[in-house]
């Protein structure tokens, strides 16, 4: 989650869309949203404003119109959003990784937890 200067919270992907079919720009709150994941081009926001990218130590700068942070576009490689689901779901990596975080945390055998996760 990111909090914009206007108090708006950004980070949740709420739309299944990727790009707008006419403009070829990422859809707002979609799977490639620039507000959530960062700008496509470094120093250029979604509405086309330019700004010099500052140091990470400085306060982050956001576009006042579209809410995109003025940072290097490489941030898209590791910036993450989230999708709110109706029911809690466990990611398989937490179960299958060696050593398994879930097995160690719950102190249960791996077979028992796999049955629970896969509804077996």
Q: What confidence category does residue 13 fall into, taking pLDDT thresholds of 50, 70 and 90?
A: very high
- pLDDT tens-place string over residues 36-86: 999 999 888 888 887 776 665 567 788 888 888 888 899 999 988 999 999
Mean pLDDT of the chain: 86
Residue 69 is predicted with a pLDDT of 87
pLDDT value, residue 14 = 93
Residues 6+ positions from 51 with CB-CB distance below 8 Å: 43, 45, 61, 63, 70
Is residue 15 within 8 A of residue 27, CB to CB? The reply is yes
Checking if the pLDDT of 33 tops 70, the result is yes
Residue 10 has pLDDT above 80, yes or no: yes
The pTM for the full model equals 0.71
Strand, coil or helix: 105:
helix
CA 24, chain centre distance (Å)? 20
Report yes or no: 70 and 38 within 8 Å, Cβ to Cβ: no
pLDDT for 73-89, tens place per residue? 999 999 889 999 998 88
- Break the chain into its structural domains and give their ranges: 1-84, 87-120
Question: CB neighbours of 72 closer than 8 A, spacing ≥ 6?
Answer: 38, 42, 43, 53
Coil, strand or helix at 11: coil
């Amino acid at each position: 989650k990111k909090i914009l200067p206007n108090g708006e919270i950004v980070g949740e992907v709420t739309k299944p869309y990727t790009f707008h079919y006419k403009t070829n720009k990422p859809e707002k709150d979609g799977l490639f949203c620039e507000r959530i994941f960062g700008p496509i081009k470094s120093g250029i926001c979604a509405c086309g404003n330019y700004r010099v990218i500052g140091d990470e130590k400085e306060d982050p700068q956001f576009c006042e119109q579209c809410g995109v942070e003025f940072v290097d576009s490489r941030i898209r490689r590791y910036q993450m959003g989230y999708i709110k689901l109706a029911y809690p779901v466990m990611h398989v990596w937490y179960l299958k990784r060696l050593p398994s975080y879930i097995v160690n945390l719950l102190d249960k055998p791996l077979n028992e937890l796999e049955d629970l996760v896969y509804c077996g």
